[in-house]
Amino acid sequence: MEAYHHIAIHKETLEPAYPAKNSKIPDADGPYSILHMPALVPHSEDPDGLPLIEGLEEWQKNDLLATVLFPHFLLAFQGTSVVWYQVMPSSVDRLLLRIHFLVPKALRDLSNIDEIAEGAGALLSIIHHEDIEANDMVWEGLKAPVTMQGRLSPLERSIWQLNQWWLSELSKTGS
């Protein structure tokens, strides 16, 4: 979980609003990792047509937070909504992904909620197809015969955090 790929993969979707150069992965002391992507410009009314969730601090209204609770519970938070990525591994190289767009219950009565949900779904589909294409290329590279393990970039702290969690879990079982 990192944002540097936004520069190329999401150059027209995420990068203009949440530039990779401003992102950070805070130190984590639990079984989780957070990718904090500050918004380039604040927005009081989100272009998705939804009102901001009440009670949020200013940075929470604007910034995008991608989180993972290890090993694979993923959520993305933004001032108007939450996206839950329901990951269901089926084998070492396969998974089923269901993406759920979540908003406060009170918003279900908005007259244009179906239109808003459809627009959000379309945008999420575009972004995730960009990711899928990139991830498929990474997977092909990882399976290449000359591939060797290398060092992680400091920008890949989340991967290191997952590895530390995994090692801790394995040591509990004596594996």
DSSP string, 104-127: -GGGGG-TTHHHHHHHHHHHHHHH
d(CA 73, CA 167) in angstroms, rounded, equals 18
pLDDT confidence of residue 23: 94
Domain segments of the chain as ranges = 4-173
The percent of residues in the chain predicted with pLDDT above 90, rounded, is 51
Q: Domain 4-173 belongs to what architecture?
A: Alpha-Beta Complex (3.90)
Q: What angle do CA 62, 68, 69 make, to 5 degrees?
A: 130
Tokens of 57: 């601090």
Contact yes or no for 72/87 (Cβ under 8 A): yes
Query: Average model confidence (pLDDT) for the chain?
Result: 89
User: For 82-129, how does the pLDDT look when each residue is reduced to its tens digit (9 = 90+)?
Assistant: 999 999 999 988 899 999 999 999 888 889 999 988 998 999 999 999
Q: Does 44 have pLDDT greater than 60?
A: no
- 49 touches 57 (CB < 8 A): no
pTM of this prediction?
0.85
